[in-house]
């Protein structure tokens, strides 16, 4: 199940693992990414820093939309941050989480609804 949420991220749930990545809208908004720093493997709370991105149009701190445990990071982005500019989800994902409360996932505001209220990243 894939969900696009208010801060222009996507979340894919596969079994008990949640993959978080960047939407095309976010990529277009911030421009070409030239640097990426991701949160370390381990526990993370919703609202905590998930990623810092330096792009051609702005520098952005991405907040984590879910609480859980980061079990994998897209390590390729550390040496090749330009892979986040790709449209394919197997390249532009940021982290994979487990130990996420499914109700928290279900409660994430969809991008379509929140775009009208709050266009912040």
Q: What pLDDT score was predicted for residue 80?
A: 93
Whole-model pTM? 0.84
Instruction: Give the model's pLDDT for residue 114.
Output: 42
Looking up tokens 């197997």 gives 90
Q: What is the pLDDT of residue 117?
A: 42
Secondary structure (3-state) at 3: strand
Domains of the chain (ranges; CATH) run 2-100 (2.40.50.100)
Q: What angle do CA 15, 82, 62 make, to 5 degrees?
A: 60
Q: Are 68 and 18 in contact (CB under 8 A)?
A: yes
**pLDDT for position 112:** 59
Instruction: Kindly state the helix (H) or strand (E) to which residue 56 belongs, with its residue range.
Output: none
Residue ranges of the chain with per-residue pLDDT less than 70? 1-5, 89, 111-121
pLDDT of residue 106: 85
């Amino acid at each position: 199940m894939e969900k696009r949420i208010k801060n222009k991220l996507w979340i894919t749930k596969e079994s008990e693992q949640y993959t978080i990545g960047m939407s095309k809208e976010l990529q277009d908004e911030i421009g070409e990414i030239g640097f990426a720093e991701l949160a370390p493997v381990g526990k993370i709370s919703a609202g905590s820093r998930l990623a810092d991105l330096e792009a051609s149009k702005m520098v952005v701190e991405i907040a984590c939309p879910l609480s859980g445990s980061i079990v994998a990071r897209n390590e390729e982005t550390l040496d090749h941050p330009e892979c986040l500019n790709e449209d394919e989800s197997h390249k532009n994902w940021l982290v994979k989480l487990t130990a996420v409360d499914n109700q928290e996932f279900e409660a994430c505001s969809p991008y379509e609804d929140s775009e009208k209220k709050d266009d912040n990243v």
